[in-house]
């Protein structure tokens, strides 16, 4: 039996279900609903926000005060904190350089928006972030050599996160107030120059992955990624091209090359997981070839301990 790809899911499902005790729960103003998970280091900054947020070291909790009982008040509170923290040297890279002027949405248990916050600030709070990842491919019977090929971009060397790594054909975060399908169509055009009409007739929704990992600098990132396939008619008529500088180039790769590069760690972690999901759904990774087949599939769809969209 072939070597396992379990390490791919280990990398993005790297926080145990029984939450690591060093993290602080970020709790909604109702005093009970957890909405994020904050590192002990970042908790020290929340401790300075005693007017609006109660940090309890015994309970390992960071709780929004009860008076923040409308989404407007919460949005204003988090915008204010983000604007002030942005000026702190400790958050220069993550917040100031990473600032996107884009809002992400946190949901309450009834799937209603609970809070909108700056995308760069969301990664300090450990709230669930949502995105869409799309795999562009040319089916085996439409390629020059009869083998399935995937369109793989390399991330620009100047991107603030994971520069120079391999990526999924198109991927984007779900910013407020955009819908998922709307985001897919928009990002296909902005990142890869693919026309709206082409995407609408050639892309299809195929599932959703969820995982929760700890970054190298100790932050928790729970993510939900909606998954799409984009089938190309052939290798040349329509092709993805770098447009907005997110991708350096796009290369058409056979599966063997893709998997070799996955093994060598050339892909951004969650993009490698999307590749595995694609190859599992298309029958190229099977229970016969992958010794940890069930564990990979199950852990790519893990339960997240927060309310969901």
Binding site for a copy of itself (CB under 8 A): 17, 111, 179-181, 204-208, 210, 224, 226, 280-283, 286-288, 291, 293-295, 297-298, 300-303, 308-309
The SS3 of residue 217 is coil
Q: Shortest gap between Cβ of 238 and a copy of itself (angstroms)? A: 19
Separation of alpha carbons 282 and 209, rounded Å: 16
Q: Shortest gap between Cβ of 41 and a copy of itself (angstroms)? A: 30
Separation of alpha carbons 297 and 309, rounded Å: 21
Separation of alpha carbons 171 and 158, rounded Å: 17
Task: Give the nearer residue to a copy of itself in terms of CB position, either 59 or 204.
Answer: 204
Q: Shortest gap between Cβ of 171 and a copy of itself (angstroms)? A: 16
β-pair partners for 230? 136, 203
How remote is the C-alpha of 155 from its chain's centroid? 15
Closest by Cα among 211, 272, 209, 292 to 16? 211
Separation of alpha carbons 103 and 115, rounded Å: 9
Which DSSP symbol is given to 95?
I
Q: Shortest gap between Cβ of 295 and a copy of itself (angstroms)? A: 7
Element (H, E) at 25: strand 24-27
Task: Give the nearer residue to a copy of itself in terms of CB position, either 138 or 285.
Answer: 285
Task: Give the nearer residue to a copy of itself in terms of CB position, either 123 or 209.
Answer: 209
Which DSSP symbol is given to 83?
H
Q: Shortest gap between Cβ of 230 and a copy of itself (angstroms)? A: 11
Q: Shortest gap between Cβ of 239 and a copy of itself (angstroms)? A: 22
Task: Give the nearer residue to a copy of itself in terms of CB position, either 265 or 305.
Answer: 305
Task: Give the nearer residue to a copy of itself in terms of CB position, either 64 or 227.
Answer: 227
Closest by Cα among 215, 207, 171, 210 to 300? 210
Task: Give the nearer residue to a copy of itself in terms of CB position, either 105 or 210.
Answer: 210
Q: Shortest gap between Cβ of 215 and a copy of itself (angstroms)? A: 23
**Does the bond joining 177 to the residue before it have cis omega, within 30 degrees of 0?**
yes
């Amino acid at each position: 039996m072939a070597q396992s790809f379990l390490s791919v899911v280990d990398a993005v499902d790297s926080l145990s279900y029984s939450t690591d005790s060093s993290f602080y729960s970020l709790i909604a103003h109702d005093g009970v609903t957890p909405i994020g998970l904050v590192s002990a280091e970042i908790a020290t900054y929340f401790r300075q926000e005693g007017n609006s947020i109660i940090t309890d070291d015994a309970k390992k909790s960071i709780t929004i005060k009860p008076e923040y009982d409308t989404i407007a008040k919460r949005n204003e509170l988090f915008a204010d904190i983000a604007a002030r923290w942005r000026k702190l040297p400790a958050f220069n890279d993550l917040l100031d350089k990473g600032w996107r002027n884009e809002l992400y949405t946190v949901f309450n248990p009834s799937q209603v928006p609970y809070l909108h916050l700056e995308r760069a600030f969301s990664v300090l709070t450990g709230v669930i972030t949502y995105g869409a990842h799309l795999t562009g491919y040319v089916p085996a019977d439409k390629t020059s050599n009869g083998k399935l090929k995937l369109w793989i971009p390399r991330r620009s060397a100047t991107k603030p996160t994971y520069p120079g790594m391999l990526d999924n054909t198109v991927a984007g975060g779900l910013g407020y107030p955009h819908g998922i399908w709307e985001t897919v169509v928009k990002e296909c055009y902005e990142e890869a120059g693919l026309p709206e009409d082409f995407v609408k007739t050639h892309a299809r929704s195929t599932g959703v992955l969820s995982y929760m990992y700890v970054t190298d600098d100790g932050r928790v990132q729970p993510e939900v990624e909606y998954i799409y396939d984009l089938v190309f008619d052939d290798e040349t008529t329509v092709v993805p091209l770098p447009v907005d500088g997110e991708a350096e180039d796009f290369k058409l790769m056979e599966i063997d090359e893709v998997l070799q590069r996955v093994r060598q760690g050339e892909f951004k972690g969650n993009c490698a997981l999307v590749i595995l999901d694609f190859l599992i759904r298309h029958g190229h990774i099977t229970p016969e070839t992958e010794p940890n087949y069930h564990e990979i599939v199950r852990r790519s769809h893990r339960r997240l301990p927060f309310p969901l969209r």
